[in-house]
Amino acid sequence: MAKLNACLFLSCKMFAHVRHFLHGFRVLHLIPVKSIRYALCLVFTINLLQAQNAISTIQPKLPEGKLVKDEFFISQQDTVYKYYERVVFSIEETDTIMLVETYRLNRLWTLGRYVVSGDASLPCGWQQEFDMYGTITTERFCDTATGKCNVRKQYHYYPNGNQMAVLQYNKQKLEGLSTFYYNSGSLKYTLDYRNNRIWNILDYLDQQGNTLAKGDFANGNGSMSIYAANGVLVKKKLYRNGRVIKVFNCNGNADCPCIK
C-alpha cells in the first residue's frame, strides 16, 4: 500500500505535464483523466517493483570491497542502490592490483581488474560483465602490453534462467570449445570452432544423455545430422571447410541422403 500511495503521489505530480503534452496533440478529450492517472501509476509501480526485485536478489561481487562511491534511496526501510563502486587492492609479486566493482541499477554491472602504476590504472587480465540479477554474461581479457580488451567468453541463458550456451572467442571470432545445454541443464553438444567455423563435434547427446549419431562430420568437412528435441532426425547438413554448402530435410527418415 505504501508503494501504491507513493506512486499515486508521483503520478499526480506528472499528470499536469502529461496532460499539457497530450493537449498539444488534441487527443486529451479522447482519454479519461482517471485512465491517464491509472496508466502513470501502473508504469511507476512496475518500474519500482522491478528495481526493488533486482536489488533484493543481488549480492555484491566484492562484499569485502571498500565502498568509494554510491547513490541510493530508502524504500520501506531498505537501502536500494542506484549506483555504487567497490574497490579492493592487493599485491601480486611486484604489482599493485585493483579490483573494481561498478553497479548501475538496470544498466550495467561489471567487475574489472587493473594494474596500478603511479596515478594510472590500466585494465589487466579478466574483466566480467553481469546482468541485472548478477548472472555473468561476458568475460573479456585485457592485455596491458597492447591496451586491448577482447571478448573471450559469452554466456547465454534460456528465459527461465537456465544456461543455454557458453561460447569461446578469440579476436571476436568463435574459437576453441563451446558448450550447449538443454533447458533441463544436461549437456547437448560440445563444438570445436576454428576461425568462426565449426571444425569438430566432441559431444552430441539427447536429453537423456545418450549419444546421438552425428554423421561423418570431422575437421570441418562431411555431413552432420540435426535432431529435434524428441530425438527425431530432421535435417542433414553438408559442410566444406566449416561452412554449410547444402541442407537436406529428412523429416524423421533415417536414410535421408547426403551427397558429397
pLDDT at 119: 86
* Share above pLDDT 70 across residues of the chain, in percent, rounded to a whole number: 75
Distances (CA, A) of 164 to 121, 142, 167, 188, 192: 35, 26, 10, 9, 17
Domain locations in the chain as residue ranges: 1-57
pLDDT at 21: 39
Q: DSSP character for 218?
A: B
Fill in the amino acid letter for 194.
R
- Tens of pLDDT, residues 25-62: 343 344 444 554 554 455 444 444 444 444 444 689 99
Distances (CA, A) of 241 to 100, 170, 176, 223, 224: 43, 19, 16, 12, 13
Average pLDDT, the chain: 81
Q: DSSP character for 200?
A: E
pLDDT mean over 165-184: 96
Confidence tier at 245 by pLDDT (50, 70, 90): very high
